Structure 1
Amino acid sequence: MRLEGSCHCRTVRFSLESRNPVPYQRCYCSICRKTNGGGGYAINLSGDYESLEVEGKRHIRAYQAVLRADDGTETRSEAQRMFCAHCGSGLWLYDERWPDLVHPFASAIDTPLPVPPEHTHLMLRYAPDWVEPQIGENDKRFEEYPEESIADWHRRLGMEE
């Protein structure tokens, strides 16, 4: 499926191919919530990095999140969260460890997306008290990361494009 996306001010526009376009995975970690959320969670999709086309590249900035362990140690994430330098909209995540993949944020996608038959709620351990996850009957819950990848979820439900 061809996905078209943009930032809020439309200075940055992008498109890419995605075999896994269903916005089913809700991440409650503080990085996703604070850099690309507002409603208590964020949704990342998956796409083919080689197909990514971008207009307005010079207006893109990258953020590499600080990872804080339970013991207080800090490290810098290898993943780059791309955002618009003008309006601050989150656009996608890229990690050189998986060079074939790019993870556009569902909130930046302008193309109508398929409705998921179930959701996966992950990183619930990090959800703040004010967040009340709306967990459906068929939804999956994980305190941390599930073993099932975005591609595996799409295959299991026959929703791969």
Structure 2
Amino acid sequence: MLLQGSCHCGAVRFELESPHPYPYQRCYCSICRKTAGGGGYAINLGGEYATLKVEGESNVSVYHAVIDGKPSSGERHFCSRCGSALWVYDPSWPELVHPFASAIDTPLPVPPERVHLLLDSKANWVEPDTRPSDKRFDHYPNESLAEWHERLGLVR
């Protein structure tokens, strides 16, 4: 699926191909929550880094979170004009890019279930809205984005 996205002010526009476009993972870690999570979590999608095309790249800044006293290799891209979170890229997995669902302008499919990640890091005011089919993980699930899509028959 071709995903098109932008920041709030329009200074940055981007597109990429995503074999995994369902916005099902809600991450409650402090990094996602504080940089992109208005509801106390952020939703990341999966995309193919080789297909990422960016307009307005001069307006993109990168934040490296500090984890256990060391800068993370993960690059959190955001608009330097309006602060909109755009995507995460980590050179440890050079074929992948993870756009934030909140930056995507393309209508996204509704996921048949959700996964709640890193609930042990959630803010105390957050009460996850879960339904019976949702899965909850204090850490990362054993299932990858691709495996989740395959298990539910969502691969095209």
TM-score range, shorter chain: over 0.9
User: What does 1:61-100 correspond to in 2, within 5 Å?
Assistant: 61-68=61-68, 74-100=69-95
Q: Could you tell me which of 137, 144, 154 is aligned with 2:139?
A: 144
Aligned to 1:7: 7
**1:61 CA displacement:** 0.4
Aligned to 2:24: 24
**1:120 CA displacement:** 0.2
Q: Which whole-Å CA distance do the structure 1 matches of 2:89 and 2:30 have between them?
A: 18
- Cα deviation, 1:33-84, whole Å, max 9, x if unaligned, reads 101111110000000111101000000000000114xxxxx11111000000
The residue type paired with residue 128 of structure 2 is: P
Q: Which whole-Å CA distance do the structure 1 matches of 2:137 and 2:101 have between them?
A: 20
* TM-score (normalised: structure 2): 0.98
**1:150 CA displacement:** 0.9
* TM-score (normalised: structure 1): 0.95
Equivalent position SS for 2:98: strand
Equivalent position SS for 2:14: strand
Aligned to 1:52: 52
Q: Which whole-Å CA distance do the structure 1 matches of 2:20 and 2:155 have between them?
A: 6
Q: Which whole-Å CA distance do the structure 1 matches of 2:145 and 2:29 have between them?
A: 17
**1:90 CA displacement:** 0.4
In the alignment, structure 2 segments of 5+ residues that lack a partner are none
Equivalent position SS for 1:155: helix
In the alignment, structure 1 segments of 5+ residues that lack a partner are 69-73
Aligned to 1:33: 33
Aligned to 1:43: 43
What is the percent sequence identity of the aligned residues? Answer: 62
Q: Which whole-Å CA distance do the structure 2 matches of 1:124 and 1:48 have between them?
A: 27
Aligned to 1:132: 127
Displacement over 2 Å in runs of 4+: none
